[in-house]
Amino acid sequence: MANFVYFVGDAKSREVFLVDPAWQIDTLFKAAEKENLKITGALVSHAHYDHCNGIEDLLARADVPIYVNADEAEFTESLGAHGESLFGRFPASNTRKVRSGDKVKIGNVELTCLHTPGHTPGSQCFLAGNRLLSGDTLFVRGCGRSDLPGGDPEKLFESLTHVLAKLPDDTMVFPGHFYGDLPQSSMKDEKIKNPYLLCTSKDAFLGLVGASVRSGL
């Protein structure tokens, strides 16, 4: 399993945000400097530690806004110290709480925040044109777990079938992890080949999710 951290932004202005800032923040800044990119913010798909453990290091390098779904921020705050091993924390002065449908601008590029709960209460995806940054909601041929604190398999089913599956077939999917053979996919392929998107009922989906948990996937 590999984590993906993405640069997303405006090729003309060279402004970029980090998507899910975690792990080797120094390496990310060096890569940005090499390409003459300026990191001006961060987008968080969800608050699991492996997707946001670099926020402290990021803010030490740049005083930038961190965009988090409002439900995710409220959920992590409610956990207190009990959630520190699994969930990250967001400094109040830098946190920008967003909701589904909110727009975020990076230079002249506009992204739409899509609330996709299920993996966590405030999981979100980001849509820029025909490119979807899907976090841990949708993987290539898979989907995120819903058996961790705050997870809800029924909400995950709704997010997949009523939000993401409604996107056009030519939407390119950039997930939060690299599982399997391909690092990215298209909604067309996922609608045909992803077993979780092929479920025609909530009961079928819950059965498949339960089987995956029992097998340790």
The string of pLDDT tens digits covering residues 26-75 is: 999 999 999 999 999 999 999 999 999 999 999 999 999 999 999 999 99
What type of residue sits at position 34? K
- pLDDT of residue 176 exceeding 70, the answer is yes
Write out the two tokens for 93: 């002065």
What is the Cα 178 distance to its own chain's centre? 13
For residue 1, what pLDDT band results from cuts at 50, 70 and 90? low
- pLDDT of residue 217 exceeding 60, the answer is no
For residue 77, what pLDDT band results from cuts at 50, 70 and 90? confident
Asked if residues 85 and 53 have their Cβ atoms less than 8 Å apart, the reply is no
Asked if residues 30 and 6 have their Cβ atoms less than 8 Å apart, the reply is no
* pLDDT for res 84: 67
Q: Work out the average pLDDT over 2-8.
A: 95
CATH fold for domain 2-212: Metallo-beta-lactamase; Chain A (3.60.15)
Asked if residues 112 and 163 have their Cβ atoms less than 8 Å apart, the reply is no
Q: Look up the pTM and report it.
A: 0.94
Computed from CA positions of residues 44, 45, 48, 50, in that sequence, does the dihedral angle turn out positive or negative? negative
Distant-in-sequence, close-in-space partners of 42: CB < 8 Å, separation ≥ 6: 17, 18, 19, 21, 55, 58, 64, 65, 66, 67
Q: Residue 12: how many CB atoms within 10 A of its CB?
A: 9
Instruction: Give the closest residue to 127 by CA, choosing from 118, 117, 116.
Output: 116
Asked if residues 20 and 66 have their Cβ atoms less than 8 Å apart, the reply is no
Top-confidence residue, 179 or 103: 103
- pLDDT of residue 215 exceeding 60, the answer is no
For residue 154, what pLDDT band results from cuts at 50, 70 and 90? very high
For residue 86, what pLDDT band results from cuts at 50, 70 and 90? confident
Give the span between the Cα atoms of 133 and 127, in whole angstroms. 6
For residue 85, what pLDDT band results from cuts at 50, 70 and 90? low
Give the span between the Cα atoms of 146 and 155, in whole angstroms. 9
Q: Where are the domains of the chain?
A: 2-212
